[in-house]
Amino acid sequence: MAQPTKRILPPLLEESTFDKVLDKLSEIVGEPNASRNHLYGNLEGPQGQNCYDDLWPLGNPTDHTPSGAVRPKTVNEIQRVLQIANEYKLPLWTVSRGRNLGYGGSGAIVPGSVILDLHRMNKIIEVNEELAYAIVEPGVSFFDLYEYIQDRGYRLWPSCPALGWGSIVGNTLDRGFGYTPNGEHAEQQCGMEVVLATGEVLRTGMGALSGSPMWALYKGGYGPSVDGLFYQSNLGVVTKIGIHLTPAPACFMDCVVSVPNEEDIGALVRIMSALEREGIVQNHASIANPYRQALSSEDPLVIGRAVGPGIKGGYATNADMTKLAKEQGWGYWKAHFAIYGASGAFIDACWTIVQERFAAIPGAAATAERHEHKLGGRLNAADLPMGEIPHTGYPRLTAKDFVDIRGAKGGHIAFSPLFPPDGKQLQEWFARIRPLVEKAGFDLFSDFHIFGRYIIGIVLVVYTPAEAARAKSLFDELLKDGVERSSVSEYRTHIHFMDEVRRHYDWGNGILHRTLGSIKKTLDPNGILSQGKSGIWTSSRPLTEAIGNTRL
Ligand SMILES: Cc1cc2nc3c(=O)[nH]c(=O)nc-3n(C[C@H](O)[C@H](O)[C@H](O)COP(=O)(O)OP(=O)(O)OC[C@H]3O[C@@H](n4cnc5c(N)ncnc54)[C@H](O)[C@@H]3O)c2cc1C
C-alpha cells in the first residue's frame, strides 16, 4: 500500500479547491461515502487492504494513486457527482467493485483521480429463471447472484471467474471470463444502462424502446449498436447490464485431458478448440503447465517443490517442473473443461467423441467425473463437488492465495495475448518466451484459455514488492516480443501498459485510435471519465504535462 508523504491531489486543482469539491461530493453521497484520501473506504483487498490504489505497483508506488473516492448509491447521485466533476474538471476513475487485480486494481491511470466506486449500487433488478437472464447493478458480485439464485431454488448456473468477489458488471466490461457455457461474459451481455459524462442516461439495444420486455433478450435493438463503446472504455458510467445465464443441466461431466510433452501444445489446443466450435464441449478449456498443476496439488511436498525456489528469490526451472510432472504421472499440459447436457446419453456421446479425438496425440490421457440427476431433474451446483475450476459457477476465493506464493504481500500481472486456435503460433511463441521468463528469474506460470475461435495465452508473473521493477521489465519484453515477432498483443492489460497496447492496434495509421479519441472528445469534452483507459484520452496539454505523460 502506498503511503505518500505528500497529499495526493487531482492534477490542476489547488488543495483548497479540492477540499471544497470533496465537501460538495460529500453533500451528495453522505460523508461516510466519500473518502478524503485514498487510504480508506474500498472493499477489503486480498491482503486486508482498504485503500484505493494499484495494490501491487510496478513502478513508483504513487504512479496510480487516487486522491480520494466517492461511493454513490443511485443513478441520480452519479449524475450529480458528474455535474461537480464537469464544473471543476475533476478526473474520476470508475470501478464497480474495484477488484481488477492484476490489471491495476482500483488505481487510476491519472494519479490524483477520484475513484467513482459503485459497489453500493448492488441491486439485482431481475432474474428470469425460464429465459435464463439477470439484470444487475454494478455492485452485484458473482457471489451475490449465485446466492440469490440458490435462495430461490432457481435452476440456473451463473458464470463466475476464478474469484467470485468481483462485480458482474466490472468483469464483463473489462471482457473478463468465467467457466460455464456462458463464460464469455461480453458475449452474454444483453442490454445496458449508461450515464454519459453529461449526466444523460442512455439505454442500449431494446432498452431504447420504452416499456419493451426485450431489453435483456435481444441485444441488437434497431440500427447501430453502441454497447461495444462501453467495453474497456471511458465513454460512460455503466449502471445496469443484462446478462445471460446457463440453465442448470441434468447431466454434467468435469473432464481432464493430459498430454505428455511440451511440444504437444499445438495439437492439444487445435483439437480442443474444434470440439468447442462444434458444441461437443460447451465451455472453454483452461490449460495448465507443470508449475500451475503443482500449485493445485494437495500434496504439500509437491507444492513446496514448485514454490520453494521462488520463496528464496529464485524460480522453479522448467526442467525440474517437467521432471516433477513425470514423477507425478501428469502430462506436461493439462486441459480442464466440462460437458453439459439434458441427458446422460448426450454427455456420454460427447465424451466418446472427445476421447476419440484426443487419441490422435500419442500418450494423451483422458479422465472425467460424471454427474446425473437421479430423478431426471436439473443439477444444483451446490450439490456437486466444488471442483478445481468453477465449471458449475460455484463461486470461491481460493485462487487469491496465488499472489503470495513468492512471499508475503505479493502481487501478479497477467500477460494476456490473443492467438488463433490452430495452435501453431501459440506453440512457436511459447517456445520463445519460456526462456525469457526464466532469464528474468520468475516462475513459469502458464494459464491458457482455449475458446472456439481464439486463445488467451496468459502468462502470470507473480512478484514480491522487491521484484516489481524486474516484473515490469519482463512484461515490457513480452509485449515487445509479441508484437514484433508474432504480431500478437493483449486483449486486456494492466493500467500501466494501456497506452503501449493501444499503440499496437495501429492498422490504417491508427484510425481506430483516432476515431475513439474523437468520440471521447465529443462525449466527454472535459475529460472527467477514466482518462487514459485503453489508451483513450480527451487530450489536454495541461493535464498531460501535469502528470508527466510525454508520450501523448
Ligand atoms: C487470482 C486471480 C484470478 C483471477 N481470475 C480471473 C478470471 O478467471 N477471469 C477474469 O476475467 N478475471 C480474473 N481475474 C482478474 C480480476 O480479479 C477479475 O476480472 C475481477 O472480476 C475484476 O474486478 P471487478 O469485477 O471488481 O472489476 P472493477 O475493478 O470494478 O472493474 C474493472 C474495470 O472495468 C471498468 N469498469 C468497471 N465498472 C464500470 C462501470 N460501471 N462503468 C464503466 N466502466 C467500468 C473500469 O475500467 C475498471 O477498471 C483474476 C485475478 C486474480 C488476482
Does ligand 1 come within 6 angstroms of the Cβ of 94?
yes
Q: Are residues 431 and 293 in the same domain?
A: yes
> In degrees, to the nearest 5, what angle opens at C-alpha 450 toward C-alphas 445 and 455?
80
CATH of the domain at 438: 3.40.462.10
> Is the shortest distance between the CB of 347 and ligand 1 below 6 Å?
no
53 by Cβ neighbours in 10 Å (0-12 / 13-18 / 19+) ranks as: buried
Residue 134 corresponds to which amino acid?
A
Using alpha carbons, list the distances in angstroms from residue 234 to 80, 176, 417: 18, 17, 22
Residue 376: per-residue pLDDT: 82
Looking at the fold, whether 347 and 456 belong to one and the same domain comes out as: yes
Terminal CA-to-CA distance of the chain, rounded, Å?
Answer: 28
- Does the pLDDT at position 402 exceed 90? no
Based on the fold, state whether residues 452 and 521 are members of the same structural domain: no
Q: Is 533 in the pocket of ligand 1 (CB under 6 A)?
A: yes
CA distances from 295 to 175, 233, 288, 352, 403 (A): 26, 34, 10, 30, 12
Residue nearest ligand 1's atom 51 by CA? 101
351 lines ligand 1 (CB under 6 A): no
Looking at the structure, do residues 406 and 464 belong to the same domain, yes or no? Answer: yes
What is the residue whose three cell numbers read 431481475?
126
For ligand 1, say whether the CB of 138 is within 6 Å of any of its atoms: yes
Residue of the nearest CA to atom 10 in ligand 1? 176
How many angstroms separate the Cα of 125 from the Cα of each of 49, 128, 137, 148, 220?
Answer: 30, 10, 7, 11, 21
Tell the residue nearest (CA) to atom 7 of ligand 1: 161
Residues 464-481 have pLDDT tens digits of: 999 999 999 999 999 999
pLDDT above 90 as % of the chain = 93
Amino acid at 444: L
Please give the Cα distance from 525 to 106 (Å, whole number).
24
Q: For cell 500418450, what's the residue?
A: 363
Q: Which of 55, 73, 95 is the best mutation target for the ligand 1 pocket, counting ligand atoms within 8 Å of the beta carbon and taking the most?
A: 95
Mean pLDDT computed over 446-460: 97
Q: Specify the residue for cell string 520453494.
A: 308
Q: Say which CATH number the domain at 167 has.
A: 3.30.465.10
Give the SS3 label for residue 25. helix
Distance between Cα 191 and ligand 1 center (Å):
19
* Cα gap 141→170, rounded to integer Å: 9
DSSP designation for 343:
S
How many whole angstroms from 98 Cα to the centroid of ligand 1? 7
What is the complex's ipTM, to 2 decimals?
A: 0.99
Q: Do both 241 and 258 map to the same domain? A: no
Both 289 and 438 in one domain: the answer is yes
Q: How many CA atoms lie within 13 A of 389 on its CB side?
A: 26
Q: What is the mean pLDDT of the chain?
A: 95
Question: Cell digits for 350?
Answer: 460427447
Structure confidence by residue, pLDDT tens digits, 5-63 = 689 999 989 999 999 999 999 999 999 999 999 999 999 998 899 999 999 999 899 99
Residue 549, pLDDT score: 60
Closest CA to ligand 1's atom 21:
166
CB-based contact 97:170 (threshold 8 Å): yes
Q: State in Å: Cα 172 to ligand 1 middle.
A: 8
Pairwise CA distance, residues 390 & 142, whole Å: 11
Residue 90: strand, helix, or coil: coil
Same domain, 466 and 334: yes
Separation of alpha carbons 28 and 286, rounded Å: 45
For residue 121 and ligand 1, the question of a CB distance below 6 A is answered with: no
* Distance of CA 459 from the midpoint of ligand 1 (Å): 17
Q: What is the pLDDT of residue 521?
A: 95
- Whether ligand 1 lies within 6 angstroms of the CB of 238 is answered as yes
pLDDT score of 150: 98
CB 178 within 8 A of CB 185: yes
How far is Cα 482 from Cα 169, in angstroms, rounded to an integer?
A: 30
Question: Which of 199, 231, 247 is at the close of a domain?
Answer: 247
Q: Are residues 182 and 91 in the same domain?
A: no
Specify the pLDDT at position 401: 86
Structural domain boundaries enclosing 407: 251-492
> CA 171: distance to chain centroid?
5
Mean pLDDT calculated for residue range 368-395: 95
> Is 537 found in the same domain as 458?
no
Do 233 and 313 lie in one domain? The reply is no
d(CA 536, CA 552): 10
- Residues 471 and 507 both lie in one domain: no
Across the chain, which distance is largest between two alpha carbons, in Å? 71
Query: Per residue in 274-304, pLDDT tens?
Result: 999 999 999 999 999 999 999 999 999 999 9
Domain of 7: which CATH number?
3.30.43.10
| C-beta of 170 in contact with ligand 1 (< 6 A) | yes
Beta strands in 65-207 (DSSP E): 68-70, 92-95, 114-117, 124-128, 133-136, 156-157, 189-195, 201-203
Indicate whether 412 and 314 sit together in one domain.
yes
Number of structural domains, the chain? 3
Contact status, residue 117 vs residue 138, Cβ threshold 8 Å: no
Residue of 318, 278, 255, 322 whose CA lies nearest to 444: 318
Residue 348 has pLDDT above 70, yes or no: yes
The pLDDT of 130-158, averaged and rounded, is 98
Contact 520, 498 (CB under 8 A): no
100 alpha carbon – ligand 1 mean position (Å): 4
Check pLDDT > 80 for residue 541: no
Residue partners of 330: CB distance under 8 A and separation at least 6: 258, 290, 293
Q: How many helices (H) and strands (E) does the chain have?
A: 15, 19
Query: What pLDDT score does 375 carry?
Result: 86
- What whole-number distance in Å separates Cα of residue 467 and Cα of residue 412? 11
Residue 489 CA to ligand 1 center (angstroms) comes to 19
Q: What is the pLDDT of residues 208-263, one digit of tens each?
A: 999 999 999 999 999 999 999 999 999 999 999 999 999 999 999 999 999 999 99
213, 247, 281 — which closes off a domain?
247
Nearest CA to ligand 1 atom 30: 96
Q: How far apart are CA 266 and CA 60, in angstroms?
A: 39
Query: What is the side-by-side order of every strand in the sheet holding 34-35?
Result: 34-35, 68-70, 114-117, 92-95
Query: Where residue 542 falls among pLDDT bands split at 50, 70, 90?
Result: low
